[in-house]
Amino acid sequence: MCIGFASLQSFASTNYLTENDIFYCEENYEQYKIIGEYDFLVRERHILEARVCVYLYNDPLWADTSKYRTAKLLERGNYYVNVEIEKSKENAESGTIPQPEKPISDMQKAINQITALEKKVSDLEKKLAQKDAVIFEQIKVIMDLANKIKTVIFSHVPFLNLSL
C-alpha cells in the first residue's frame, strides 16, 4: 500500500494547513473536551496546529456538517495560522512568552457569585435603611403639622375649648 506524498503533508512542511492538520484537530477534539482548553493548551503549547485547533473548536464552522466542511475549516484555519504567526512575531519582539490563563473553577465562580450577591444585598439593606429614615422623618413632620393644626383649630373656637 502506497501513501501519496500529498496525504502526508502537514503545516510543518507547507506553512499552511492541510487536510492532515484538520484530521489532527478532529483526532484531538475528544481530549480537548475532556481535559478542557487550558490543560489542552498547556499539554500542546509547542504545537501551532494545536493552538489553531482551539480556535477552530470555538468557531461555529466546527459544527458544520456540509460536504465542504474540511475546505471551510482549512480556509478559516489558515486565517488562524496567520493570527498565531503575528502573535509569535509580537512575542519575539517583546521577548515575552504568554501563558494560557487558568480558567476559574466552577467553585470559584460560585463563590464570586455569592460574594457579588451578598454585596448587592448589603447595598439594598443600606438603601432600605435610608428610606426608613426618610419615612420616619416624614411621619414626624406630618405629626408636627397635625399638632399645629389641632392647636390652631381648638385655640380659636371658644365653645370647643375644654380648658374652662
What percent of the residues of the chain are helix, what percent strand, and what percent coil, each to the nearest 5? 75, 0, 25
pLDDT in tens, the chain (164 residues): 344 444 444 554 456 788 999 999 999 999 999 998 888 988 887 888 899 999 999 999 999 999 999 999 999 999 999 888 888 888 778 777 666 666 666 777 778 888 899 999 999 999 999 999 999 999 999 999 999 988 888 776 665 555 54
Cell numbers standing for residue 71: 475546505
**For the chain, domain boundaries:** 5-94, 106-160
Dihedral sign, CA of 74, 76, 79, 80?
Answer: negative
3-class secondary structure, 101: coil
pTM: 0.52
String of DSSP letters for 125-154: HHHHHHHHHHHHHHHHHHHHHHHHHHHHHH
